[in-house]
Amino acid sequence: MENEVKNIHDLLQRTFEKNAWHGPAVKEVLENITPRQSQHRLPGSHSIAELVAHMTAWRIFVIKKLGGDVHYKVAEEMNFPVPADWSVAVEELNRSQLKLLEAILAFDDSRLHEVVPHISYNYSFYTLLHGIIHHDLYHAGQIALIKKQTF
């Protein structure tokens, strides 16, 4: 499985930045959203700003777990917070991308099948890393639908 960490790194980079196989990458989905639009909410859904803050919170979770933090968890108030400033929310997401890519490259392939240090779940780092990519794409799809319905 040597080089798998590099493959995961590259996949995360493509799905977030550009050249995603499936369609628009996360950053492409977020283009041209105004602060007002970021606060719009469809019935029964979170706003785009809340989804972006949620994505950032779970990326920080992954960074902490890659660093060995057994006790870190996403506090309920951080799960879908309402960001006060859209540009800050986007910047925090972009910053989390850089930190996550750095943490992934520092992670050793030989540890991918180790269990993530966590109190209540039992899954591997491999699953965690692929999971955060899936999580990003799931919410990017939601954001794309909100944009399509409202703009």
Radius of gyration over alpha carbons of the chain, in Å?
Answer: 16
Judge: domain 4-150, CATH 3.40.50.970: no
One-character DSSP codes across 47-96: -HHHHHHHHHHHHHHHHHHHTT-SS----HHHHS---S-HHHHHHHHHHH
d(CA 14, CA 123): 24
- pLDDT (tens digit per residue) in 30-71: 999 999 999 998 899 999 999 999 999 999 999 999 999 989
What is the C-alpha to C-alpha distance for residues 59 and 26, in angstroms, rounded to an integer?
13
pTM over 0.75: yes
| Angle at which helices 86-106 and 4-16 cross, to 10° | 170
For the chain, what are the domain ranges? 4-150
